[in-house]
Amino acid sequence: MRTFDELVEMAVAYRGSADEVLSLMPDILSAEEIKQMGDDRILAAMAQAVFQAGFSWKVIRNKWPGFEEAFEGFVPVRWKFMSDDDLDSLLKDTRIVRHGAKILSVRDNAILLCDLEYEYGSAAKCIAEWPQDDFAGLVEMLKKRGNRLGGNSGPYFLRSIGRDGWVLSRDVVQALIRDGVVDKNPTSKTALRAVQAAFSKCAAESGRPFAHISRALALSVGPNM
């Protein structure tokens, strides 16, 4: 894979200047900052990522205060016990997007967060301290143990809370194929190990977080590539 500086140089051709490219890098929080988050905020961020998938992000964000009210602040121990009456009420609640399977994902992801609290002390601690050289493992854990957190929903959730990592968007995948890291959309464990190795190498050489490398890859793809 190209170096971070080379990716920025390629992106400049489409964005105008290195300063403009670098201004688009995602904000990343430290592990200590993430560990200070309440698990209610973790569940809220999971829910937002799930409801945004395949839907207008703008609509979900505009309605989000209503989601917070309807889900009573997203306290995991409250929603792990979602009742049939809760579900029926939420399916009628115009403050939210009334999608049954996504509503139920709040219950299942609340169960996951309560389990992680038992195992690690808090879900935030688990996420914050997960080894960076196994980011693919963190994404896989969310996919397997959570509900509707597969694909890019898990990585987008992590990005939204400031956790460093990649998002394998269409442009990022195109750049990874172009640079010979993978030969198609990386879904197999072998391909994801190759992605992990490429990001780890680039991060070690550049001192940049995975999220910045991911964004630089995306921005390096243009209409003439």
Q: Could you report the per-residue pLDDT of 26-40, keeping only the tens digit for each?
A: 999 999 999 999 999
**Domain holding 60: CATH number?**
1.10.340.30
* H-helix segments, the chain: 4-15, 18-23, 31-35, 39-52, 57-70, 76-79, 84-91, 100-120, 123-129, 135-145, 153-160, 170-178, 189-206, 210-219
Mean pLDDT of 100-127: 97
pLDDT at 223: 56
Q: Are 98 and 191 members of one domain? A: no
Answer for the pair 202, 3: CB distance below 8 angstroms, yes or no.
yes
Q: Are 94 and 173 members of one domain? A: no
pLDDT at 225: 40
Q: Are 86 and 41 members of one domain? A: yes
Q: Are 87 and 154 members of one domain? A: yes
Domain housing 194: 4-28+166-219
What is the C-alpha end-to-end distance of the chain, expressed in Å? 15
Q: Could you report the per-residue pLDDT of 43-80, keeping only the tens digit for each?
A: 999 999 999 999 999 999 999 999 999 999 999 999 99
Q: Are 125 and 75 members of one domain? A: yes
Q: Are 125 and 196 members of one domain? A: no
pLDDT at 92: 98
Q: Are 40 and 122 members of one domain? A: yes
Q: Give pTM, 2 decimals.
A: 0.95
Answer for the pair 142, 194: CB distance below 8 angstroms, yes or no.
no
**Mean pLDDT rounded to a whole number for the chain:** 96
Q: Are 20 and 96 members of one domain? A: no
Q: Are 110 and 153 members of one domain? A: yes
Q: Are 42 and 19 members of one domain? A: no
- In a domain, residue 192? The reply is yes
> Residue 121: what residue type?
G
- In a domain, residue 188? The reply is yes
pLDDT at 16: 87
Q: Are 23 and 46 members of one domain? A: no
pLDDT higher than threshold 50 for residue 140: yes
Q: Could you report the per-residue pLDDT of 180-217, keeping only the tens digit for each?
A: 999 999 999 999 999 999 999 999 999 999 999 999 99
The count of structural domains within the chain is 2
- In a domain, residue 18? The reply is yes
Q: Are 174 and 202 members of one domain? A: yes
- In a domain, residue 143? The reply is no
Q: Could you report the per-residue pLDDT of 78-113, keeping only the tens digit for each?
A: 999 999 999 999 999 999 999 999 999 999 999 999
- In a domain, residue 191? The reply is yes
pLDDT at 224: 43
- In a domain, residue 224? The reply is no
